[in-house]
Amino acid sequence: MLILQILFLLSIGALGSPSFYTINSQAADKYRVDTLPGIDGISNENQPTMYAGQLDISTEDSSKIFFWLFQSRAVKHDKLVIWLNGGPGCSSMDGALMEVGPFRVLPDGQLEYNEGTWLHDADLLFIDQPKGTGLSTTNGTYAADLNQATSDFWNFYSNFVEIFDYYSDKEIYLAGESYAGQYIPYFAHGILENNAHLAKVMEMNYMVNDLKIQPSTNEDIDLKIPEILISNKSVNLQGLLIGNGYIYPDVQALSYIPFALSKGLLNSSDSTQLNTVYKPHLACESVLRKPSNETVFTFSHPICTDEILDQLLNVTRQSSNDSYTCHNMYDYTLQSPYPSCGMEWPFDLPQVTSWLQNDTVLQHLNIESETSWSECDGNVSSSLVNFNTTPSYFFLESLLDKIPIVLFNGGNDIICNHLGVENITDSLKWGNQTGWSSSTKYFSMMLNGENFGQVKSERNLTLMEIYNSSHMVPYDHSYSSRSVLNYLFGNYKNATTGEGNVIQFPNLNSEYSLGKFSTGFLVVICVCLVVSWAVILFSKFTNKSDYLRIDDE
């Protein structure tokens, strides 16, 4: 019986284990989130292990960057997805609480489990950046360009890994949407440049130690760390996912009219309407034809990024009872009050705002008392919008030589529509070729028998259009959005059906259920088998002993 009792206690201990992870608990404990207002309605198995708080950027800058880390209690992941929202200056709590995170906030302040959370497939880290965004703080200064934002991110991540050293060698993926189409390539470029620099340093150290060469005598190796890269650790960056990305603003703006015509938003026979919208369109084309030394706008020109869309929304507005409505720029199938045209969207924003402005919530998230949350910060945006910054588009070529990139788009978005994203890839040079070739592969995306999107892929670059989705794909279809991540992870099968070439994704819920059983239910099964084996052995031993005693007598 003693053996059975020990095994029973071991099984209870295994089921009650809160985490698989080895974390420097002394440093991480202060960031542990044990509970949250409204979480009680979520089952224990769906309540993740959480850490949150604000980390210093550097000793010279008292600003702090807020993070929220989610770890699955069901499956031990060897992958970390870092999620960034855009703006610029908009909080990644949009992603955490309205898109890929494990919770959704209900109107009454209760939390609901998000069945489509990407936490099924990887650990999730949400970051409010640049400084001053969301629950991050600022010392009164703001990032003036994307290079500074990259430096601040790098400082934050270096500090993060010092505390959560479990992730120091794990696979890292950068993901996000909209203006994160600028952040992600910039950050990835910085990470890979730092990795290359460290490789040179390690090579030089090898030469110094084994060949007795003085570093200062080798002019080909610069041992000075680049200005925006200050870490002495490499990052195992494995891929990028950019949703409805704002990557090459001016060129993407030229897709507004073709997209509107393809969706029937513009009347192709209405010359007055077309003349109004084509005027800024043609002016934008003229700007783009100018040599770079003849324009002061290298990132974007207002006539491209502002005027075309403004005119499009204006000429397609509709009157109703002395007021006007317009197409939601983030989902053309929705109508919005004019001139908001989507600025009041997404619809979950009011309850998310109320929840994140709750003092008890902030206390549990380890937030300093003077910090308050708003979705987007105008100071961050106005400081970072620099018309002379190099668009992230120009980093894609070098990035694609090293890591895969998935550009996914909701098919209903106007402002960062799928035509614009495809257009910028047509002129992109990568893999020693410009644009797409005869080797390009085309697939339909299938999940549970439903065709929910299409794929175009070649040479490390993949384009995806997710049907009936907005600017925020996971907000509309969180379950299907997991397929974007699973595609990058290689968790799919190619097949040929009556619909042509398709990519079939597994039943993700069933897969996750198996994952849960593997850490809970399967533990019980194993323990039961061990117990049964012990009982059988014990029984045989007892019976054999009794027989011997009788025989001896």
Q: Which residues are catalytic?
A: 178, 413, 471
Give the whole-angstrom CA distance, residue 493 versus residue 447: 11
**CB-CB neighbours of 432 under 10 Å:** 7
Q: Which two tokens mark 164?
A: 């959560």
Q: Name the residue with tokens 């015509």.
A: 261
Q: Residue 348, SS3?
A: coil
Give the whole-angstrom CA distance, residue 358 versus residue 111: 14
Give the whole-angstrom CA distance, residue 187 versus residue 180: 10
Give the whole-angstrom CA distance, residue 6 versus residue 12: 10
Q: Which two tokens mark 76?
A: 């031990």
CA 232 to chain centre: 25
Give the whole-angstrom CA distance, residue 517 versus residue 524: 9
- Cα–Cα distance list, 130 to 187, 192, 474 (Å): 12, 20, 23
DSSP 29-57: GGGEE---TTGGGS-GGG--EEEEEEEEE
Length of the chain (residues): 553
Q: What is the dihedral of CA 360, 365, 367, 370, to 10 degrees?
A: -30
Q: Residue 7, SS3?
A: helix
CA 376 to chain centre: 18
Q: Are 216 and 224 in contact (CB under 8 A)?
A: no
Going by the DSSP 8-state scheme, the letter that residue 90 receives in this structure is: B
φ, ψ of residue 401 in degrees (nearest 5): -70, -15
Q: Which residues pair with 287 in a beta bridge?
A: none
CA 248 to chain centre: 19
φ, ψ of residue 551 in degrees (nearest 5): -65, -40
**Is the bond preceding residue 48 a cis peptide, omega within 30 degrees?**
no
Q: Name the residue with tokens 């029937």.
A: 264
Q: Which two tokens mark 59?
A: 């000793």
Q: Are 80 and 171 in contact (CB under 8 A)?
A: yes
Q: Name the residue with tokens 């003085």.
A: 214
Taking Cα atoms as reference points, which of 529, 484, 504 lies closest to residue 175? Answer: 484
Give the whole-angstrom CA distance, residue 485 versus residue 213: 46
Strands (E), 100-224: 103-105, 111-113, 123-128, 171-177
